[in-house]
Amino acid sequence: MKNSFFSRFTPKEPKFFPLLKQLSEVLCDASIVLIESLQHDQPTERFDYYKKIKELEREGDRLTHLIFDQLSTTFITPFDREDIHDLASCLDDVIDGINSSAKRLAIYNPRLIPESGRELSRLINEEAVLICKAMDELDIFRKNPTKLREYCTRLHDIENQADDVYEFFITKLFEEEKDCIELIKLKEITLELERTTDAAEHVGKILKSLIVKYA
Amino acid sequence: MKNSFFSRFTPKEPKFFPLLKQLSEVLCDASIVLIESLQHDQPTERFDYYKKIKELEREGDRLTHLIFDQLSTTFITPFDREDIHDLASCLDDVIDGINSSAKRLAIYNPRLIPESGRELSRLINEEAVLICKAMDELDIFRKNPTKLREYCTRLHDIENQADDVYEFFITKLFEEEKDCIELIKLKEITLELERTTDAAEHVGKILKSLIVKYA
Amino acid sequence: MKNSFFSRFTPKEPKFFPLLKQLSEVLCDASIVLIESLQHDQPTERFDYYKKIKELEREGDRLTHLIFDQLSTTFITPFDREDIHDLASCLDDVIDGINSSAKRLAIYNPRLIPESGRELSRLINEEAVLICKAMDELDIFRKNPTKLREYCTRLHDIENQADDVYEFFITKLFEEEKDCIELIKLKEITLELERTTDAAEHVGKILKSLIVKYA
* Tens place of pLDDT per residue across chain C (215 aa): 445 555 454 444 568 999 999 999 999 999 999 999 999 999 999 999 999 999 999 999 999 999 999 998 888 888 999 999 999 999 999 999 999 999 999 999 999 999 999 999 999 999 999 999 999 999 999 999 999 999 999 999 999 999 999 999 999 999 999 999 999 999 999 999 999 999 999 999 999 999 999 98
Q: Residue C52: what are its φ and ψ, rounded to 5°?
A: -60, -45
ipTM, two decimals: 0.90
Over residues A155-189, the pLDDT tens digits come to 999 999 999 999 999 999 999 999 999 999 999 99
With CB atoms and an 8 Å threshold, state whether C2 touches B175: no
Nearest CA-CA distance, residue C209 and chain A, Å: 6
The mean predicted confidence, pLDDT, of chain A is 93
With CB atoms and an 8 Å threshold, state whether B209 touches C72: yes
Which residue of chain A is at minimal alpha-carbon distance from C209? A69
Helices (H), chain C: 5-9, 16-37, 43-73, 81-108, 115-135, 146-176, 180-214
Tell me which amino acid residue C33 is: V
Contact B192, B124 (CB under 8 A): no
| Of C62 and A2, more confident | C62
Best C72, C73, C75, C108 member to test B by mutation, with max B CBs in 10 Å, is: C72
Question: What pLDDT is stored for residue A5 in this prediction?
Answer: 52
The Cα–Cα gap between A203 and A206 comes to: 5
The residues, any chain, with a CB within 8 Å of residue A121's CB and separated by 6 or more, are A31, A34, A35, A38, A101, A193
Query: At A13, is the pLDDT very low, low, confident or very high (cuts 50, 70, 90)?
Result: low
- Report, as ranges of residue numbers, the positions in chain B whose pLDDT lies below 50: 1-2, 6-12
- Residue B21, domain member (yes or no): yes
Residues of C within 8 A of A109 (CB-CB) are 171, 174-175
Query: Is the dihedral angle over the CA atoms A99, A128, A171, B46 positive or is it negative?
Result: positive
Question: What pLDDT is stored for residue B11 in this prediction?
Answer: 47
- A107 closest CB neighbour out of C170, C178, C214: C170
- C180 closest CB neighbour out of A68, A72, A180: A180
The residues, any chain, with a CB within 8 Å of residue C193's CB and separated by 6 or more, are C97, C101, C117, C120, C121, C124, C166
Question: What pLDDT is stored for residue A11 in this prediction?
Answer: 47
Provide the residue range defining the domain that includes A206: 15-214
pLDDT at residue A85 tops 50: yes
- Residue A197, domain member (yes or no): yes
Query: Is the dihedral angle over the CA atoms A77, A79, A83, A87 positive or is it negative?
Result: negative
Over residues A41-50, the pLDDT tens digits come to 999 999 999 9
Best B44, B47, B72, B178 member to test A by mutation, with max A CBs in 10 Å, is: B72
Comparing CA positions, the residue from B123, B127, B117 lying closest to residue B38 is B117
- Residue A173, domain member (yes or no): yes
Contact C201, C159 (CB under 8 A): yes
pLDDT at residue A12 tops 80: no
CATH label of the domain that carries residue B73: 1.20.58.220
Best C143, C144, C168, C171 member to test A by mutation, with max A CBs in 10 Å, is: C171
- Residue C1, domain member (yes or no): no
For C110, other C-beta atoms within 10 Å of its C-beta total 21
Question: What pLDDT is stored for residue B2 in this prediction?
Answer: 47
Residues of C within 8 A of A69 (CB-CB) are 209, 212-213
Tell me which amino acid residue B24 is: S
Total domains in the fold of chain B? 1
Contact C8, C75 (CB under 8 A): yes
pLDDT at residue A90 tops 70: yes
- B183 closest CB neighbour out of C72, C107, C181: C181
- Residue B19, domain member (yes or no): yes
The Cα–Cα gap between B191 and B188 comes to: 5
With CB atoms and an 8 Å threshold, state whether C209 touches A73: no
The Cα–Cα gap between A40 and A44 comes to: 10
- Residue C48, domain member (yes or no): yes
Nearest CA-CA distance, residue A154 and chain C, Å: 33
Residues of A within 8 A of C213 (CB-CB) are 2-3, 69, 72-73
With CB atoms and an 8 Å threshold, state whether A65 touches C215: no
- Residue A8, domain member (yes or no): no
Question: What pLDDT is stored for residue B197 in this prediction?
Answer: 98
Tell me which amino acid residue B108 is: Y
Over residues A30-73, the pLDDT tens digits come to 999 999 999 999 999 999 999 999 999 999 999 999 999 999 88
Over residues A128-160, the pLDDT tens digits come to 999 999 999 999 999 999 999 999 999 999 999
The residues, any chain, with a CB within 8 Å of residue B60's CB and separated by 6 or more, are B23, B26, B27, B30, B91, B92, B95, B96
- Residue B7, domain member (yes or no): no
The mean predicted confidence, pLDDT, of chain B is 93
